């Protein structure tokens, strides 16, 4: 099947038309309207160098907001208040930390163009970060995009053990408190599996996504309201 090549319009082919690898389309740009159209259709960009590649994998990893598994040691860490968790106070710093080289990894998919694009989504109130702070320093975090009652996790980082995990759990707890119904984790991994992430067939994911994006979007700067996550 030939890969769909995007034109000037922000539209996409049906997500179900993706290759077995999940690759659906190439080209286009990272304008806010295209990115938002992609997320609303169950599609996300993932590439290291031009052209831009757009994916809709099958199955899809989903983090259960109602049945999130928090390991006992991490729960104790959160209860002891080792990290101060905040929302949207250092979005750019979180994205840049996620883009930094990691031991044993070659390159990064978070290119300067991606950093700028998600920074613009954040300025528009659609992209958000949850940060873990310790002694006044940013030591971990996670960021992603929000549409309706869906949150699309993009990446996370840590400079201290459990910092990114604490940020992820704090974010998930807050999303559940706000009535979010879907936390997209894109691709399954052993790390996500520890939190109870499930693999959903694309059809099931798209059905849930369609309902979620029909709800109002919580735009603007977020603030943490869940006491147990502070």
pLDDT of amino acid 2: 59
Has residue 106 got a pLDDT over 50?
no
Tens digits of residue pLDDT in 123-171: 999 999 999 999 999 999 999 999 999 999 999 999 999 999 999 999 9
- The CATH number of the structural domain formed by 61-229 is 3.40.630.70
User: So what CATH class is 4-58?
Assistant: alpha beta
Tens digits of residue pLDDT in 77-101: 998 889 999 999 999 999 999 999 7
Tens digits of residue pLDDT in 17-46: 999 999 999 999 999 999 999 999 999 999
Give the integer Cα–Cα distance in Å for 189 and 154: 13
Do the beta carbons of residue 152 and residue 44 sit within 8 Å? yes
State mean pLDDT over 198-202: 97
Provide the edge-to-edge strand list for the sheet that holds 4-6. Answer: 4-6, 23-27, 53-55, 44-45
Tally of residues, the chain: 230
Tens digits of residue pLDDT in 111-120: 999 999 999 9
Q: What 8-state DSSP symbol labels residue 101? A: -
Give the integer Cα–Cα distance in Å for 181 and 206: 13
Distance, CA of 132 to chain centre: 16
In the chain, where the domains are located:
4-58, 61-229
pTM attached to this predicted model: 0.94
Q: What residues have CB less than 8 Å from 59, skipping those under 6 apart?
A: 188, 199, 200, 201, 202, 205
Has residue 59 got a pLDDT over 90?
yes
Six-digit token pair at 22? 């999940």
């Amino acid at each position: 099947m030939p890969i769909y090549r995007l034109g000037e319009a922000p539209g996409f082919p049906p997500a179900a038309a993706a290759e077995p690898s999940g690759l659906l389309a190439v080209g286009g740009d990272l304008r806010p309207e295209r990115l938002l159209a992609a997320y609303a259709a169950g599609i996300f960009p993932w590439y290291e160098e031009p052209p831009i590649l757009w994916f809709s994998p099958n199955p899809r990893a989903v983090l259960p907001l109602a049945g999130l598994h928090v390991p006992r040691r991490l729960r104790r860490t959160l209860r002891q208040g080792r990290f101060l968790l905040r929302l949207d106070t250092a979005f750019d710093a979180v994205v840049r930390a996620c883009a930094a080289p990691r031991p044993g990894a070659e390159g990064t998919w978070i290119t300067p163009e991606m950093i700028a694009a998600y920074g613009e989504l954040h300025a528009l109130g659609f992209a958000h970060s949850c940060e873990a702070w310790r002694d006044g320093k940013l030591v971990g975090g996670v960021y992603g995009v929000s549409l309706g009652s869906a949150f699309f996790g993009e990446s996370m980082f840590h400079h201290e053990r459990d910092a990114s995990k604490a940020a992820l759990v704090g974010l998930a707890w807050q999303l559940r408190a706000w009535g979010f119904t879907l936390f997209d984790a894109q691709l399954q991994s052993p790390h996500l599996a520890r939190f109870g992430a499930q693999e959903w067939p694309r059809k099931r994911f798209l059905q849930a996504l369609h309902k979620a994006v029909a709800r109002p979007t919580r735009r603007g700067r977020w603030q943490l309201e869940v006491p147990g996550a502070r």
